Amino acid sequence: MNLKEIAHINTGFTQKFGIPRQSGLVSEIGHIIFTPEFRNPTFIDGITDYDYLWLLWGFSKNKALEGGTVRPPRLGGQKHMGVFATRAPYRPNNIGLSSVRLLEVQETVEYGPVLVVSGVDMLDGTPIYDIKPYIPYADAHPDARGGFTDELSKGAQVSVDFPNDLLEKLPEELRESAIEVLSQDPRAGYDRGKTRDFRLAYHGYDIVFLGKDGEITVTDVLKI
């Protein structure tokens, strides 16, 4: 079966480092631009009746999976687990699945209807293969077990020290979401014991930070 790209999404993440590990963790905004074939409004008739959408998309910058196991960065990159027991981005078919909040539909002259969504966890320009509505009565399982992520989620967030003079180098509309992204600690597990500079590429800026256990300190903001 050949997958047809129906759209792509524009986000502030121009590099893989720093992209939230799951959708919905931060309020990052994305704009879904349909390909010309799917810009007729009939394709999204009724979509504003839903608060959330499922996006089926492609890991466009990943290498092919080798073997049946992966080493999740959240586990320090040392423990092997079966690929189908993780959400690691290296997969047999490089397909991703995200649940995002639909904020609005913008009518544009150049691109037709554009979906504005929040909670994105995708690289800028990521191809989208399908969009389906999120249905609460069928899709929500609040009492489900989460495997190894249950334990990790307890300490997933870190405190962020973002000095005001550096924060003000970012446009005002990006400041809150930048702090949210950093609070998820973009470093891989095996990097968390290292004291060195890290750089997060975000909306045309490099956010430079130092990381310690439980804390991130921003040391510079550079316009790319």
How large is the average pLDDT for residues 11-37? 92
State pLDDT tens for residues 111-149: 999 999 999 999 999 999 999 999 999 998 888 888 877
Q: Which of residues 41 and 155 earns the better pLDDT score?
A: 41
DSSP per-residue codes, 52-102: EEEEEEE-TTPPPP-SSEE--GGGTT---EEGGGS--S--SS-EEEEEEEE
Q: What is the separation of C-alpha 3 from the centre of its chain, rounded to a whole number of angstroms?
A: 22
Q: Kindly indicate the confidence band of residue 207, based on its pLDDT and cuts at 50, 70 and 90.
A: very high
What mean pLDDT, rounded, does the chain reach?
A: 89
Phi/psi for 214 (5° steps) reads 75, 5
pLDDT reading at 155 higher than 60: no
Give the pLDDT confidence score for residue 44 in this predicted structure: 98
Find tokens 């074939």 and name the residue. 37
Quote the Cα angle for 27-53-124, to 5°.
Answer: 55
| Cα 13 to Cα 67: distance, rounded to the nearest angstrom | 29
Q: What is the pTM of this model?
A: 0.87
Pairing of strands 126-133, 112-118: unpaired
Domains and CATH numbers, the chain: 7-59+94-139 (2.40.30.70), 155-223 (3.30.2310.20)
State pLDDT tens for residues 160-196: 999 999 999 999 999 999 999 999 888 876 666 667 7
